[in-house]
Structures are given as structure tokens and as C-alpha cells.
Amino acid sequence: MTATQGKQDTSNDVMVELRNVNKWYGDFHVLKNINLQVSKGERIIICGPSGCGKSTLIRCMNRLEEHQKGDIIVSGVTLDDDLKRIDRVRRDIGMVFQQFNLFPHLTVMENCCLAPIWVQKKPRRDAEAIAMKYLERVQIADQASKFPGQLSGGQQQRVAIARSLCMNPSIMLFDEPTSALDPEMIKEVLDVMVDLAREGMTMLCVTHEMGFAKTVANRVLFMDAGEIIEENEPNEFFDNPQSDRTKLFLSQIL
């Protein structure tokens, strides 16, 4: 481990911490004793077979799903039923989904300004200036007055990323952000995410884009059947997987 990586691991900088987290859907034990610490500036890739609990894990981090046992602490705030605390955590975490989730009846600009105006109570003019800054950053400013349905999938996903950034989050969660895209549009979205990573954003990303993982991740986690089976820095993870389940998974996707 390099000196810089070591520094990132100091506990003062912990942005997300999961301690013995367990979750059930009815009788189905979907997350089993998950322990994870995410330090400021880390870029963590989560991979694993379909249905192993990846989405559930990251959705628990902003309480889109609730866990039943263990602790989840985000930016020092423990997630429980307290709505004020949930609200605080959600303001600090941006999330990007596979299916973009833009409002179809609002323009790109309106999609980006909605939360800053209604949640952060920003004046419209300020919200629009911030939105423009991020739309420029994801190279889509020229589409600001269009509706999502008039854009390609790659463009919509870049808008979804810009929309999240408008809330100035300290952590970004991505749940298979390129899985719904045609192959030629994957790169334009990954490029935006690579830029974000280079600027120091703390990121957790569920993806099977292994080239991307090698470029940006400082850690790769492999999950299977609700457990974190293995984690490592990317080169070790890909070149020297330890568990048979990881080896099998990698042989299927690479």
C-alpha cells in the first residue's frame, strides 16, 4: 500500500461505515454481516453475480432500503428511523441509477434545478447557474432546454449525473450506470465518472465495467449471496483472485 492510500484510510476521514449490517426481505437474508469503511476520496467498485445484493447494499446507504441489524453511519450520522437524519444523509449522497430516473415532463434544466430549489431553497437564478456549470462539465449544456425523451440514453445518464452534482454531494453512489446503455454510449458516461474520480469524489459504484474499475478504483469488492467475499486493490483483484467464487465470476465476465 502506498503512503497516500494509507493516509486515506485514517479513521477521521471515514465517510461511510457499515458495521455488521444485516438485512432481510421477509425470510430472505439478503445482506449478511456486511462490514465496510469508506474513507474520503475512495473509489470503490462493487461487483458480483446478479441477485447477490449489490443494489440492496448501496440503497441501504441512503436508506432507500432499511436494514434490520447492525449500524450504517454516513458522514457521522447514524441511519435509523429518524427522518431528519435520513434527510441529512440524503442531502450528502448523490445517487445515479441504471434507468436514469429523470422526470420526463421536465426539461434537462428543470430536472437539475428541482432539488436545489425545493430542498436547498436556492433562488432559481442561482440554481440555474449551478446547473449550467454541471451541465457544461458533463458536456451537455447545449441540451438544457430539451426534455429527457429527446436525448439519447448516454446523454440522459450524463444529465442524471449533473443533476446529482447540483446538490453538491460528498459521496456518489452509482448502481450499474451504464448497463442500460447501447455500447457506443458507455464510454461517454464512464468518461464523466473518471473525471469525477480524478477530482477526488468519494464514489461507490456497482458495475461490471472492469476497464473502468482498473482505471479509477482503489478497491474492488466482490459480493456473492449477500456477503462480501473478497476485496482488494484492482490489479491484485483481477490478476490474483483468492476465492473460487471470485475466480468463477471473473472467468464469466472477462
Ligand X SMILES: Nc1ncnc2c1ncn2[C@@H]1O[C@H](COP(=O)(O)OP(=O)(O)O)[C@@H](O)[C@H]1O
Site of interaction with ligand X (CB under 6 A)? 25, 28, 30, 48, 50-56
Closest separation between CB of residue 48 and ligand X, Å? 6
Closest separation between CB of residue 177 and ligand X, Å? 13
3-state secondary structure of 205: strand
Closest separation between CB of residue 8 and ligand X, Å? 26
Binding-site partner at residue 241 among Mg ion, ligand X, none, CB < 5 to 8 Å by type: none
Rounded CA gap, 13 and 89, in Å? 16
CA-based angle 176:178:179, to the nearest 5?
A: 70
Query: What does DSSP say about strands 69-74 and 14-25: parallel, antiparallel, or unpaired?
Result: antiparallel
Task: Quote the strand ranges of the chain, DSSP E.
Answer: 14-25, 28-39, 43-47, 69-74, 77-78, 93-96, 171-175, 202-206, 219-224, 227-232
Closest residue to Mg ion using C-beta atoms: 55
Amino acid at site 25: Y
Our CB check for ligand X shows the closer of 53 and 154 to be 53
Binding-site partner at residue 50 among Mg ion, ligand X, none, CB < 5 to 8 Å by type: ligand X
Binding-site partner at residue 61 among ligand X, Mg ion, none, CB < 5 to 8 Å by type: none
Our CB check for ligand X shows the closer of 38 and 221 to be 221
Residue 232 in the binding site for Mg ion (CB under 5 A): no
Q: Which of 39, 55, 62, 157 binds Mg ion (CB under 5 A)?
A: 55
User: Closest by alpha carbon to 210, among 186, 245, 228, 229?
Assistant: 186
User: Would residue 177 be called left, alpha or beta, if left means φ above 0 and alpha means ψ between -120 and 50 degrees?
Assistant: alpha
Our CB check for ligand X shows the closer of 11 and 50 to be 50
Our CB check for ligand X shows the closer of 56 and 155 to be 56
Q: Which of residues 169-198 bind Mg ion (CB under 5 A)?
A: none
User: Would residue 70 be called left, alpha or beta, if left means φ above 0 and alpha means ψ between -120 and 50 degrees?
Assistant: left
Tell me the CA distances in angstroms from 26 to 72, 126, 225, one per residue in order.
20, 45, 16
Our CB check for Mg ion shows the closer of 49 and 70 to be 49
Our CB check for ligand X shows the closer of 24 and 238 to be 24
Closest separation between CB of residue 49 and Mg ion, Å? 10
Instruction: Give the footprint of Mg ion on this chain (CB under 5 A).
Output: 55
